[in-house]
């Protein structure tokens, strides 16, 4: 173990904490079990990597395979000699069982990949889409990603993931010559394998799949109390790792209490930590994709809980509120799992109106408590209303107003979590809505308001930013929450 630790400490892929976290994520993916690092000291982290590998049968060879991906074949071979020194190793023998590509195919593919620059994270995201949401490591260079999928089994249509990577790369290459070389390699391989028709079918289906630049990388956290008198809640995370496409993948659920929700969210953030550090490459047309966000899917009685104020710690620094660095949105658990056709249609229609015509506010405040029926009737009769600004829904009447707004399809709501939303602070929200050219930029504007509240010490925006409740519930971004999902016994403590 000491020799392995010494050898790994000499590699550039373990020099800094982000690189070691990436190494751990890839190793965990290959081992099929979590690998936890503190991310503080190199040798401590490397020892944890080695220990995790050696605790699994054959894990030392998996460790070598990860080094080959991240550092290159020579470095992997050198580490392999520390594990099983052999006096007469056979040169040029590929590591592991043979994959669907020959050694000549592999070498020629690597040579074509190296002919030009490729956007690494977009290539990874496109390949995830091509493989129907199958998860891939984040942060790998194109040649490292190729090495990662090289030995994977072929898809049902006979095309190997490595060939699909080459074909996807052809669409992203910066120069016509590089695009032609990549596409030509894929065409040649498919012709020799008798799979030209399958490759063309993939290309046709791909052209029909539209990308929406407003769909972000996202951590979704669904929360529901057990409601059995125990005080427990079940927390279930999802990760949407491909911007432009909504295909969230479920994480590990956990059972905790509302007081310890922050710990559960911190663990979920750890699962998605690599999402936040990736470069934000332009989407189609050169437009920057939406920034990563955290969405809390909450029942009515938890919508006023201060989830944006939950804290998490990086390394040995002080714990900071998640709203300082990440956009935090609230969503309705009841509406998310509703199968009422009218509820779903009103939700979609109101959202279309918001995107096409902008924000029109239907306000609710304490004096409206005596005429809640009339307030909802106005909302129901005026489809132009796309947002509500109201008092905090911890009060019975304010909560009923929010429920009515959700029933009528409203997807955008803002309130002051402390209670009555006074006029001065409502004007701040009005100014925020007026300042954004497109409604899809409202989440970023609210995030800036929260961030400024932590950085500045004066003015009404500071106080509102620290206590604002922001409900942003997009009907096009659903997660599959069955009533039994969050209250079942399968969630580990």
488 within a domain of the structure (yes/no): no
Residue 362 contacts by C-beta under 8 Å, 6 or more apart in sequence?
375, 378, 379, 382, 385, 387, 388, 405
Our CA dihedral for 123, 124, 126, 128, rounded to 10 degrees, sits at 160
491 in any annotated domain:
no
| Alpha helices (H) in 366-459, listed in sequence order | 372-381, 396-407, 423-435, 442-455
140 and 108, same structural domain? yes
Among 55, 83, 111, the domain boundary falls at 83
Residues 154 and 192 in one domain: yes
Same domain, 303 and 277: yes
Residues 396 and 316 in one domain: yes
Residue range(s) defining the domain that contains residue 195: 103-208
Task: Give whole-number Cα distances, 171 to 68, 101, 207, in Å.
Answer: 27, 21, 11
CB within 8 Å of 94: residues ≥ 6 apart: 103, 106
Shared domain check, 330 and 399: yes
Identify whether residues 151 and 297 lie together within a single domain: no
Indicate if 288 and 430 belong to the same structural domain: yes
Residues 224 and 190 in one domain: no
Is residue 218 within 8 Å of 211, Cβ to Cβ? Answer: no
Whether the model clears a pTM of 0.75, i.e. scores above it, the answer is no
Asked if residue 383 is part of any domain, the answer here is: yes
Last residue of a domain, one of 154, 173, 208: 208
Per residue of the chain (493 residues), what is the pLDDT tens digit? 677 888 888 888 888 888 888 888 888 877 877 888 877 888 888 888 888 888 777 788 888 888 888 888 788 888 887 776 544 443 443 334 446 888 899 999 999 999 999 988 889 888 988 887 777 887 788 998 998 888 888 888 899 999 999 999 998 898 889 999 999 999 999 999 999 999 999 988 887 776 777 888 889 999 999 888 888 999 999 988 777 888 788 888 889 999 999 888 888 887 666 555 555 555 444 444 566 799 999 999 999 999 999 988 777 778 888 888 889 999 999 999 988 889 999 999 999 999 999 999 998 777 766 688 888 898 888 889 999 999 999 888 899 999 999 999 999 999 999 888 888 888 889 888 988 888 999 999 999 888 888 776 555 445 678 899 999 999 989 987 765 544 444 444 4
- Counted domains in the chain: 3
Same domain, 247 and 383: yes
What are residue 468's DSSP bridge partners? 416
* In-domain check, residue 478: no
Write down which residue in 153, 187, 208 finishes a domain.
208
Q: Is residue 280 part of a domain?
A: yes
Q: Are residues 233 and 319 in the same domain?
A: yes
- Domain assignment present for residue 483? The answer is no
Whether residue 304 is contained in a domain is answered as yes
Residues 257, 126 within the same domain: no
Q: Are residues 39 and 79 in the same domain?
A: yes
Asked if 360 and 387 touch (Cβ cutoff 8 Å), the reply is yes
**Which of 269, 226, 472 is closest to 359 using CA atoms?**
472
d(CA 306, CA 330): 10
- The CA distance from 158 to 407, in Å, is 47
């Amino acid at each position: 173990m000491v020799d392995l630790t010494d050898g790994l400490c000499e590699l550039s892929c373990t020099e800094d904490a982000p690189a070691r976290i990436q190494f751990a994520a890839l190793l965990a993916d290959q081992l099929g079990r979590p690998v936890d690092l503190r991310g503080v000291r190199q040798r401590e982290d490397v020892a944890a990597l080695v220990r995790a590998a050696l605790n699994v049968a054959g894990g030392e060879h998996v460790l070598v395979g990860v080094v080959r991906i991240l550092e290159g074949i020579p470095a992997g071979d050198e580490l392999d000699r520390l594990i099983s020194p052999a006096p007469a190793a056979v040169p040029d023998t590929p590591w592991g069982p043979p994959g669907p590509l020959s050694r000549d195919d592999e070498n020629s593919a690597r040579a074509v990949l190296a002919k030009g620059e490729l956007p690494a994270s977009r290539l990874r995201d496109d390949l995830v889409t091509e493989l129907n949401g199958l998860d891939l490591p984040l942060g790998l260079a194109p040649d490292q990603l190729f090495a990662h999928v090289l030995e994977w089994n072929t898809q049902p249509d006979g095309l190997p993931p490595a060939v699909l990577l080459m074909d996807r790369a052809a669409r992203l290459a910066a120069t016509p010559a590089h695009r032609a070389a990549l596409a030509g390699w894929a065409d040649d391989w498919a012709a020799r394998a008798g799979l030209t028709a399958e490759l063309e079918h993939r290309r046709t289906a791909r052209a029909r799949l539209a990308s929406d630049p407003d769909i972000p990388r996202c951590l979704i956290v669904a929360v529901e109390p057990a409601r059995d008198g125990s005080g427990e809640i079940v927390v279930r995370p999802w990760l949407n790792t491909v911007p432009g496409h909504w295909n969230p993948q479920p994480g590990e659920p956990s059972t905790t209490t509302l007081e310890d929700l922050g710990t559960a969210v911190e663990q979920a953030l750890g699962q998605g930590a690599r999402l936040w550090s990736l470069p934000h490459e332009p989407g189609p047309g050169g437009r920057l994709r939406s920034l990563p966000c955290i969405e809390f899917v909450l029942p009515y009685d938890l919508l006023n809980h201060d989830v944006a104020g939950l804290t998490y710690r990086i390394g040995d620094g002080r714990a900071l509120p998640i709203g300082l660095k990440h956009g935090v949105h609230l969503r309705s658990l009841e509406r998310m799992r509703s199968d009422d056709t009218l509820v779903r249609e009103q939700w979609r229609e109101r959202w279309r109106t918001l995107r096409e015509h902008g924000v029109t506010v239907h306000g609710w405040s304490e004096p409206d408590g005596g005429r809640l029926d009339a307030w909802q009737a106005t909302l129901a009769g005026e489809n132009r209303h796309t947002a509500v600004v109201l008092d905090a829904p911890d009060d019975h009447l304010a909560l009923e107003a929010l429920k009515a707004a959700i029933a009528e399809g409203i997807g955008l709501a803002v309130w002051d979590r402390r209670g009555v939303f006074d006029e001065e602070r409502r004007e701040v929200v009005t100014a925020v809505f007026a300042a954004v050219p497109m409604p899809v930029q409202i989440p970023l504007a609210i995030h800036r308001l929260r961030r400024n509240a932590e950085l500045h010490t004066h003015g009404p925006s500071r106080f509102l930013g620290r206590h604002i409740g922001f409900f942003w519930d997009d009907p096009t971004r659903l997660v599959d929450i069955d009533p039994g999902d969050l209250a079942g016994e399968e969630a580990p403590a």
